[in-house]
Amino acid sequence: MNKLKGKVVLIVGPTGAGKTDLAIRLAKRIDGEIISADSRYLYRGMDIGTAKPGNEEMNAVPHHLVNVANPDETWSLANFIDSTMALIGEIHGRGRNVIVVGGSGQYFRALTEGWQIPELVPNPQLRQSLEAWSTEIGGIALHDRLSLLDPEAARMIDPSNIRRTIRALEVILSTGKRFSELRTKTSPAYAYHVIGLTLPREVLYPRLDQRIEEMFDRGLVEEVRALLDSGYPTTLPSMSAIGYQEVSRYLSGEISIDDAIMLMKKRTRNLVRRQANWFKPTDAMIRWYEADPDPLEKVISDLVLGE
């Protein structure tokens, strides 16, 4: 679209609201490329359980930060910020627009608030100790420990995201300073146009339940079994993602398949509620659109008008 050039559009909102579909259709209309801001999409071999776009969708529009790491590789928030900033420059250099889409609230805030994340020399021994501790006491209990040391950092980290909890504790124990104190903010690098996509929960929850059931029909159990057979243990932060823990427990005989499905639905609804804390209806930065009826034409019109 000739009227648009050099835009950076962010699409946020709860999981299952249709962000990916809107991003792809928008990218086709405004000559855009997509950068994923979903921490689960980073990992190869984790496709069904993350609701990752299929090959046909990703071939229709250039996608970035999808399938860039193995499940046992570490991908920090600093990696995301640095990679995204570099990609935006490359995409703009091609004369195209950028669409950043995903439900990871911390990624969204990092971009829009210009976070500067301190780089820390890795301490494998400390990290292994923290990982062992998380296995012993559980991710939620580990997050509780972080809350005692750094309440602000704990507030910004999803309790189920063990990797980020460990990272914050690693910084605290290595530097003697709170993780939240070391994170600084600068002016955002771009004038972001933030689109919020929403659905009433009475519509969203049944939609998510159906999506989870379809994941099992498409082979989620086989996907998780293949990851475990490849040597990726359930203790990996990536394997703590919704679906992978539940199916791993089913495969080990700990719970039934029906229990796995029920727990996935429960965790997904909890995720939606946590996302609501990141993406608030009162946030003046976000322009909200109902996912139904289709908001595409209204979104394009507002982009052209610069609203």
**pLDDT value of residue 119:** 67
The least confident of 134-138, 238-242, 256-260 is: 134-138
- What is the pLDDT confidence band of residue 257, given thresholds at 50, 70 and 90? very high
Q: Kindly tell me if the per-residue pLDDT of 226 is higher than 70.
A: yes
- Show me where the domains of the chain are located: 8-117+187-200+278-305, 124-182, 202-275
Chain CA centroid to CA 295, Å: 23
- Looking at the domain 124-182, which fold is it? Histone, subunit A (1.10.20)
Closest CA relative to residue 159, chosen from 285, 273, 37, 25 = 273
* 192, 112 Cβ separation under 8 angstroms: yes
pTM of the predicted protein model: 0.83
Burial of 205 (0-12, 13-18, 19+ CB in 10 A): middle
> Sign of the C-alpha dihedral, residues 154, 170, 39, 92?
positive
Query: Taking residues 23-47, what's their average pLDDT?
Result: 95
H/E run at residue 85: helix 77-93
Query: What CATH number matches the domain at 8-117+187-200+278-305, 3.40.50.300, 3.40.605.10, 3.90.480.20, 3.40.50.720?
Result: 3.40.50.300
- What is the pLDDT confidence band of residue 128, given thresholds at 50, 70 and 90? confident
| Torsion-angle region of 138 (φ positive above 0: left; ψ -120 to 50: alpha; else: beta) | left
**pLDDT value of residue 306:** 73
Torsion, Cα 266 271 276 278, to 10 degrees, reads 160
* 202-275 carries CATH number 3.20.20.190: no
* 248, 239 Cβ separation under 8 angstroms: yes
**pLDDT value of residue 245:** 93
Q: What is the mean pLDDT of the chain?
A: 90
Burial of 301 (0-12, 13-18, 19+ CB in 10 A): exposed
Beta carbons within 8 Å of 129's beta carbon, 6+ residues apart: none
**pLDDT value of residue 118:** 66
Query: Taking residues 248-259, what's their average pLDDT?
Result: 97
The two structure tokens encoding residue 227 = 């990851």
- What is the pLDDT confidence band of residue 183, given thresholds at 50, 70 and 90? low
DSSP state of 34: E
Q: What is the pLDDT of residues 73-117, one digit of tens each?
A: 988 888 899 999 999 999 999 999 999 999 888 888 889 888 877
Q: What is the pLDDT of residues 17-30, one digit of tens each?
A: 999 999 999 999 99
The two structure tokens encoding residue 113 = 């608030």
Query: Taking residues 23-40, what's their average pLDDT?
Result: 95
- Residue 135 has φ and ψ, to the nearest 5°, of -65, -35
Q: Which residues pair with 36 in a beta bridge?
A: 101
For residues 38 and 53, what is the distance between their CA atoms, to the nearest angstrom?
11
**pLDDT value of residue 4:** 64
Pairing of strands 193-198, 115-116: unpaired
The least confident of 134-138, 209-213, 281-285 is: 134-138
Residue type, 138: G
**pLDDT value of residue 3:** 58
For residues 178 and 168, what is the distance between their CA atoms, to the nearest angstrom?
8
Residue type, 293: P
- Which comes out higher in pLDDT, residue 208 or 128? 208
Please give the C-alpha separations between residue 211 and each of 206, 208, 238, 306, in angstroms, as whole numbers.
9, 5, 21, 35
**pLDDT value of residue 237:** 82
Q: What is the pLDDT of residues 269-295, one digit of tens each?
A: 999 998 888 888 899 999 999 999 999
- What is the pLDDT confidence band of residue 12, given thresholds at 50, 70 and 90? very high
Q: Kindly tell me if the per-residue pLDDT of 307 is higher than 60.
A: no
Torsion, Cα 46 71 64 108, to 10 degrees, reads 100
**pLDDT value of residue 153:** 82
